[in-house]
Amino acid sequence: MKLALNGATTMRADLATDLLAAQSAGYDYLEIWAAKLRAFLKQNSIADLKALFNTHQVPPLSINSIEHITFRDETAYQQIKQQCDELCSIAAQINCPYVVVVPGRLPASGANENEIKTESVRVLNELADIAAAYNVSLAFEFLGQKDCSVQTLAQANEIVKAVGRQNVGLIIDSFHFYAGGSSLDMIESVAPDSIYVFHLNDSEDRPREELEDRHRLYPGSGILPLSEMFRAFRRIGYDRVASIEIFRPEYWEMDPIRVARDARLAATRVMEKSASVVAQ
């Protein structure tokens, strides 16, 4: 499986530093953090961005992300569509295959599963039309937090299947997978081609309802069932990309090149461990 560095892991570094860190540590791809992208383009052109990727020889995998795409009022939803057009246009120009989209919070009035599915399918289809004009795909990432409208892999997979578009697929994040109560058998119900990226990270040992992004750790340093997840991916034939995404403020204070190297080493150990168990 290829490895990517996600810009959230080195949050306080800029985009140029992320690319240097990814190259230095030997990553196959970089997931671009959208705020860093916009900061770069305030002072530089798209041509400069393409040149930067060419210099470092680490291609872009995705742009992260468009947040809370569902259950928005009309004004906010128009802004979501504008963001989709903006980021898909940039992605097309730099040969970046994916833009990450994230479901919205549950509305204050509540919503049942059918209402969530209907809203999610509608919005994803409309955004997919925008993305298709640029030959870009949307990677739909469910969140394990209790206020998110889509909390499990099974729910996200049902939505993506209902959308039925070639340019809409899934991101499975190990932290959200665990926090939201997804199970390994849910992975085995997913078509491998519909999984675009696996976000790899670990977690402190806390009750699921207390987990926040800041509790993430390097792969293999916590309590997530990562080896079991890798084995489940192998069983369904998924072998694309594991991207290291760790929102840990402690790591943000460290040298980003060191963080990138330590994270890659940790991920490699986890993957090798899962493979050795299978071989036995």
Residue 36 sits in a domain whose CATH number is: 3.20.20.150
Cα atoms found within 13 Å of the Cα of residue 89, Cβ hemisphere only: 8
Give Cα separations from 111 to 24, 73, 82, 136 (angstroms): 46, 15, 26, 30
Where on the phi/psi map is residue 266: left (φ > 0), alpha (ψ -120 to 50), or beta? Answer: alpha
If pLDDT is split at 50, 70 and 90, which confidence band does 277 have?
low
- pLDDT per residue over 257-268, tens digit each? 999 999 999 999
- pLDDT per residue over 44-88, tens digit each? 999 999 999 999 999 999 999 999 999 999 999 999 999 999 999
Threshold 0.85, pTM exceeds = yes
Bigger pLDDT: 280 vs 258: 258
If pLDDT is split at 50, 70 and 90, which confidence band does 276 have?
confident
Check residue 280 and give its pLDDT: 44
Closest CA to 8 of 271, 272, 263: 263
- In this prediction, residues 128-152 reach a mean pLDDT of 97
Task: Name the DSSP letter for residue 95.
Answer: T
Between CA 197 and CA 180 the distance in angstroms is: 18
pLDDT at 5 over 50: yes
pLDDT at 279 over 50: no
Between CA 182 and CA 166 the distance in angstroms is: 24
- Average pLDDT of the residues of the chain: 97
Contact, 257 vs 214, CB < 8 A?
no
Long-range contacts of 85-88 (CB under 8 A, 24+ apart): 85/130, 87/34, 87/37, 87/63, 88/130, 88/131, 88/133, 88/134, 88/136
- pLDDT per residue over 183-234, tens digit each? 999 999 999 999 999 999 999 999 999 999 999 999 999 999 999 999 999 9
Contact, 204 vs 222, CB < 8 A?
yes
pLDDT at 32 over 80: yes
Closest CA to 217 of 248, 238, 242, 254: 248
Residue 121's domain spans which residues? Answer: 2-279
- Can you give the three-state secondary structure of 164-190, one letter per residue? CCCCEEEEEEHHHHHHCCCCHHHHCCC
| Strands (E) located in the chain | 2-6, 29-33, 60-66, 98-101, 137-141, 168-173, 195-200, 202-203, 216-217, 241-244
Closest CA to 98 of 197, 199, 239: 197
Closest CA to 60 of 24, 25, 80, 34: 34
Domain count for the chain, please give it. Answer: 1
Contact, 229 vs 166, CB < 8 A?
no
Check residue 275 and give its pLDDT: 86
- In this prediction, residues 244-253 reach a mean pLDDT of 98
Percent of the chain with pLDDT over 70: 99
pLDDT at 15 over 60: yes
The residues facing 202 across adjacent strands are: 217
- State whether residue 62 is helix, strand or coil: strand
